[in-house]
A = this chain, B = another copy of it.
Amino acid sequence: MTDLQAQIDRLVAIEAITQLKARYFRLMDTKQWDEWAQVFATDCVMEIPEADMVNHGRDEIVRAVSTALTGTTTTHHGHMPEIEITGEGTARGIWAMFDYVEFPKDDGTTWGLKGYGHYHEEYRVEDGAWRIARTRLERLRVDPF
């Protein structure tokens, strides 16, 4: 029984982390920042090396990203998760990603980018739910437009 339960627990955790990352994308693209905050552990670290950006803690992440995306239209998609449960309430994962961000310019036109890469992440159960504890985006390419 124990072994069956352990196998189910692993599948349930992978499914929960997959839905966690789905909320990460959807709540960012629909700009629901209060709900978005809840996908992160309070001490989460977010790194985007090609943008030279590191944010420490849920509050700083939400402030930085919500500010950067003010006025933008964004689409973020994740693909092909590789999630590994590493311990009791801890996991790590890799996701392929696509992002499409369009920024308004003062003259009424827009500029933006379409990007491709991989998230390398860690997850942790905090306050009874899986949350993103660390995330680092490594790009394959960025196409400005």
A→B interface (CB under 8 Å): 1, 4-5, 7-8, 11-12, 14-15, 18-19, 21-23, 25-26, 29-30, 73-75, 77-83, 94, 96, 98, 100, 102, 116, 118, 140-141
23 contacts between A and B (CB under 8 A): A1-B4, A4-B5, A11-B11, A11-B12, A11-B15, A14-B15, A18-B81, A19-B81, A19-B83, A22-B82, A23-B82, A25-B79, A25-B80, A26-B80, A26-B82, A26-B94, A26-B118, A29-B140, A30-B118, A73-B140, A75-B116, A77-B80, A77-B98
Work out how many copies of this chain go into the complex: 3
Contact call A80/B78, Cβ cutoff below 8 A: yes
